[in-house]
Amino acid sequence: MDIRTAINDLNNKVLQGKALDAFEEYYAENVTMRENNDPPTVGKDANRKR
């Protein structure tokens, strides 16, 4: 799958209310996410719980 197709698929899943499906498919196990000035949340499991 090329990058344009992957981005469109990810966006479509989010728009269809399937953000967690997109998260599972496209994000790495060691993903790091940060919300504004909060400390980063590291790892898929921790981000699922967040």
36 φ/ψ angles, rounded to the nearest 5 degrees: 50, -120
pLDDT reported for residue 34? 97
Q: How many domains does the chain have?
A: 1
Crossing angle of helices 19-26 and 3-15, rounded to 10°: 150
32 φ/ψ angles, rounded to the nearest 5 degrees: -120, 125
Segment holding 32, helix H or strand E:
strand 32-33
pLDDT reported for residue 1? 86
pLDDT of 1-50, one tens digit each? 899 999 999 999 999 999 999 999 999 999 999 999 999 999 999 999 98
CA distance readout (Å), 2 to 7, 20, 24: 9, 21, 18
Predicted TM-score of the model (pTM):
0.77
Q: The domain containing residue 10 runs over which residues?
A: 3-49
